A and B are shown apart, each in its own frame.
Chain A
Amino acid sequence: MRAWKAVVLVDLALLFAALGGWAAWQRSQTTAALAARTVTFGGPEQEWTDVAGLVRAVVPELGIVVLTHADIPGYMPGMTMGFKLADVEIPRALSVGDTVRFSLRGSPPLVTITALEKVP
Chain B
Amino acid sequence: MSGLGLALRWLHLAATVALLGGAVALLIAGPSDRPTALAWQRRVSGLARWLLLVAVLAGAGVLAHQTVVLEGRAEAALDPRALLRVATQTQSGLVWLVRLGLLLVAGLFAAGRLRVADRADWLALHGQTAALTVLALALAAAGGHAAAAEPSPLTAMAVDALHLATAGLWAGALPALSLLLASAARPDGADARPYAVLAIRAFSRWALAMVLVVAVSGVLNTLAHVRDVAGLIGTPYGRLLLVKITVFALALALAAANRRRLTALGATAERGRAAMARLAVGVRVEALLILAILGVVAALGVTPPARHEQAAWPFSFRFTTTALLSAAPDARWPVLIGSQLAVAGAVVLLCTLFVRRWRLPLAAGAVVLLLTGAAMGLAPLAVDAYPTTFHRPTVPYTVTSIASGAAIYAERCVACHGRGGGGDGPAAATLPKPPADLRAPHTSDHTAGDLFWWVSHGIPRGAMPGFADVLDEEQRWDVINFVRLLGAVEGARWLGPSVDPGRPWLAAPDFSYAVAPAPARSLRDYRGSRHVLLVLYTLPASRARLAQLAQAYQLLTTVGVEVIAVPTDAEPDAIRRLGPDVRALFPIVTEGAADIVAVYRRFDAAPHVEHLVDKNGYVRARWSTHGETARDVNLLLAEVQELNEEKVVAPPADEHVH
Q: Which residues of A are at the interface with B, using a C-beta cutoff of 8 A? A: 1-4, 6-8, 10-11, 14, 52-54, 56-58, 66, 68-71, 77-80, 95-99
Contact = CB atoms under 8 A, between A and B. Distances in A.
Say what secondary structure dominates the interface of chain A. Answer: mixed
B161 to A, nearest CB: 16
B575 A4 contact: no
Across the A-B interface, the 5 shortest Cβ-Cβ residue pairs: A97-B576, A78-B518, A52-B517, A3-B121, A4-B124
Contacts of A71: 519
A70 B519 contact: yes
B575 A54 contact: yes
B109 A7 contact: yes
Given A6-B114, A11-B128, A97 B573 contact: yes
B583 interface: yes
A57 B128 contact: no
B577 interface: yes
Contact of B517 (A3, A66, A69, A77): A69
A54 B578 CA distance: 13
B109 A6 contact: yes
B554 to A, nearest CB: 13
A2 B576 contact: no
B435 to A, nearest CB: 47
Nearest to B108: A10
B438 interface: no
B576 A68 contact: no
B122 interface: yes
Interface string B582-597: 0111010010000000
Contacts of A77: 519
Contact of A10 (B120, B122, B128): B128
Contacts of A11: 128
B116 interface: yes
A70 B517 CA distance: 5
Contacts of B115: 1-3
A52 B517 CA distance: 6
Nearest to A51: B517
A68 B609 CA distance: 25
Contacts of B124: 3-4, 7-8
Contacts of B573: 97
B580 A58 contact: yes
Contacts of B515: 54, 68, 80
25 contacts: A1-B115, A2-B121, A3-B121, A4-B120, A4-B124, A7-B109, A7-B125, A8-B124, A10-B105, A10-B128, A14-B105, A54-B515, A54-B518, A66-B585, A68-B515, A71-B519, A77-B519, A79-B518, A80-B518, A80-B587, A95-B580, A96-B575, A96-B576, A97-B575, A99-B517
A57 B585 contact: yes
A68 B518 contact: yes
B561 to A, nearest CB: 16
B301 to A, nearest CB: 25
Contacts of B585: 56-57, 66, 80
A2 B584 CA distance: 80
Given A2-B121, A54-B590, 12 more contacts: A3-B114, A3-B125, A6-B114, A10-B128, A56-B575, A56-B585, A68-B517, A70-B517, A77-B519, A96-B578, A96-B579, A97-B577
Interface of B: 105, 108-109, 114-117, 120-122, 124-125, 127-128, 515-519, 573, 575-580, 583-585, 587, 590
A21 B449 CA distance: 49
A4 B114 CA distance: 9
B109 A95 contact: no
Contacts of A57: 580, 583, 585
Contact of A2 (B114, B575, B583): B114
B1 to A, nearest CB: 34
- Which of the listed residues A7, A53, A66, A71 has the most CB atoms from chain B within 10 Å of its own CB? A7
A66 B109 CA distance: 71
Contacts of B518: 54, 68-70, 78-80
Nearest to A6: B114
A52 to B, nearest CB: 4
Contacts of A56: 575, 584-585
A22 to B, nearest CB: 13
Contacts of A69: 517-518
Contacts of A95: 576, 580
Nearest to A56: B585
A7 B23 CA distance: 15
A44 B380 CA distance: 75
A10 B105 CA distance: 8
Contacts of B577: 97
Contacts of B125: 3-4, 7
A6 B585 CA distance: 70
Nearest to A1: B114
A27 to B, nearest CB: 19
A11 B131 CA distance: 10
A91 B109 CA distance: 81
Contacts of B579: 96
Contacts of B517: 52-54, 68-70, 78, 99
B128 A7 contact: yes
Nearest to A100: B517
A3 B108 contact: no
Contact of A3 (B122, B516, B580): B122
A53 B575 CA distance: 13
Contact of A96 (B108, B117, B580): B580
Contacts of B121: 2-4
B637 to A, nearest CB: 22
A7 to B, nearest CB: 4
A1 B120 CA distance: 14
Contacts of A8: 124
Contacts of A52: 517
Nearest to B586: A80
Contacts of B117: 2
Contacts of B516: 54, 68
- Which of the listed residues A1, A10, A53, A98 has the most CB atoms from chain B within 10 Å of its own CB? A10
A86 B65 CA distance: 61
Nearest to A97: B576
B576 A98 contact: yes
B365 to A, nearest CB: 61
Contacts of B578: 96-97
A78 B519 contact: yes
A68 B515 CA distance: 7
Nearest to B581: A96
A53 B576 CA distance: 13
- Which of the listed residues B109, B116, B120, B580 has the most CB atoms from chain A within 10 Å of its own CB? B580
A77 B577 CA distance: 26
Contact of B116 (A3, A10, A78, A99): A3
